[in-house]
Amino acid sequence: MNSKRKNGIAPSEITAEPVWRSRRRWLVRAALAPAALATPGLVDATAGEPFGAKLAAPPDKRLSTTEAANGWRDITTYNNFYEFGTGKEDPSRYAGRMRLDPWTVTVDGAVRRPMTLDVDALRRLAPLEERVYRLRCVEAWSMVIPWTGYSLSRLLARVEPTGDAHYVVFTTALQPDVMPGVAAGILDWPYTEGLRMDEAMHPLTLLTFGVYGRVLPAQNGAPLRVVVPWKYGFKSAKSLVRIHLQAERPITSWMRAAPDEYGFYANVNPAVPHPRWSQATERRIGSGFFAPRVATQPFNGYGDTVAALYRGMDLRRNF
């Protein structure tokens, strides 16, 4: 520590370093507390360590990667959430304005038992687990993230899908007064994404309520989102308000905006380049710009688990 008081004595010479560092973190959090009370989704993303209400959940090692997870700062300050802007830091700056209480999610469509549930009811629907997933963005970067939630299939089974339920459509929150990115008109809002029914029912597809054992920060998709780890990150829709089951394949937000670049499946496939860049290699967030790139894995490394879903399909045409 190089900073000194006027008398030339460094803080570390007055108080043991762990104590004054802990005290400084406490002061930062105390300063942020009024803003956090005013905007419930705002957490201290800059603290460098997990922050926010805890979610108790045992680890699910069977469905987790063994790779080391990214740090809290990486996960909460480098996000795609275009409702709050196209900059990677925009969600951490603005998403805390989102209204998270009350919040309900409607599950309807081709089901026998449609439901509208609040977040607490959804959390109680099945035991929570922590899984460490690897996610990849189309811009050739990746993260390893410990998520808290349960398989989406647990919820879908409760609503009893009918024989017409071939696809699941996710609709996300739209609050234009606190979402500055909506005015840019980049996409048709609200944001929608979709999965085939067997993809949605796959054990890896997670209905997610937390990250790093804490409730989801707003910029990460509070209060709940879906996570589909073998697909590009834009398939993992944030801040869900509706889950709709239907017979027809949906035209999702990115398909409508750029059909030549974003297909329905969005499986990670290094053999299919994006029209404007290669998908063959990637870099881990937080590793530094000059860190060596690594080869992208088909299905993001989950091929042993999910490749059978696409047996016989042309994965270049069905990108």
Q: Return the closest-CA partner of residue 108 out of 116, 119, 100.
A: 116
Q: Tell me, what's the pLDDT at 20?
A: 31
Whole-structure pTM value: 0.86
CA distances from 237 to 3, 113, 177 (A): 44, 23, 20
Q: 164, 247 in Cβ contact below 8 A? A: yes
Element containing residue 268 per DSSP (H, E): none
Specify which residues 283 forms β-bridges with.
141
Instruction: Report residue 243 as tokens.
Output: 């889950």
The C-alpha atoms of residue 101 and residue 78 are separated, in whole angstroms, by 25
**CATH number, residue 126:** 3.90.420.10
Whether 8 is covered by a domain: the verdict is: no
**Confidence grade of residue 246 (pLDDT, cut at 50, 70, 90):** very high
Entry field: residues in the chain: 319
Q: Tell me, what's the pLDDT at 4?
A: 36
Whether 159 is covered by a domain: the verdict is: yes
Q: What is the pLDDT of residues 87-140, one digit of tens each?
A: 999 999 999 999 999 999 999 999 999 999 999 999 999 999 999 999 999 888
- Indicate whether 187 pLDDT > 80: yes
Whether 54 is covered by a domain: the verdict is: yes
Q: 288, 278 in Cβ contact below 8 A? A: no
The C-alpha atoms of residue 142 and residue 136 are separated, in whole angstroms, by 4
The C-alpha atoms of residue 267 and residue 306 are separated, in whole angstroms, by 10
Residues spanned by the domain of 247: 14-309
- Indicate whether 201 pLDDT > 50: yes
**Total tally of structural domains belonging to the chain:** 1
Q: What is the mean pLDDT of residues 39-53?
A: 68
- Indicate whether 47 pLDDT > 80: no
Of 15-19, 136-140, 144-148, 248-252, least confident by mean pLDDT is: 15-19
Q: Return the closest-CA partner of residue 268 out of 94, 133, 111, 156.
A: 133
Whether 6 is covered by a domain: the verdict is: no
Whether 9 is covered by a domain: the verdict is: no
Element containing residue 159 per DSSP (H, E): helix 152-159
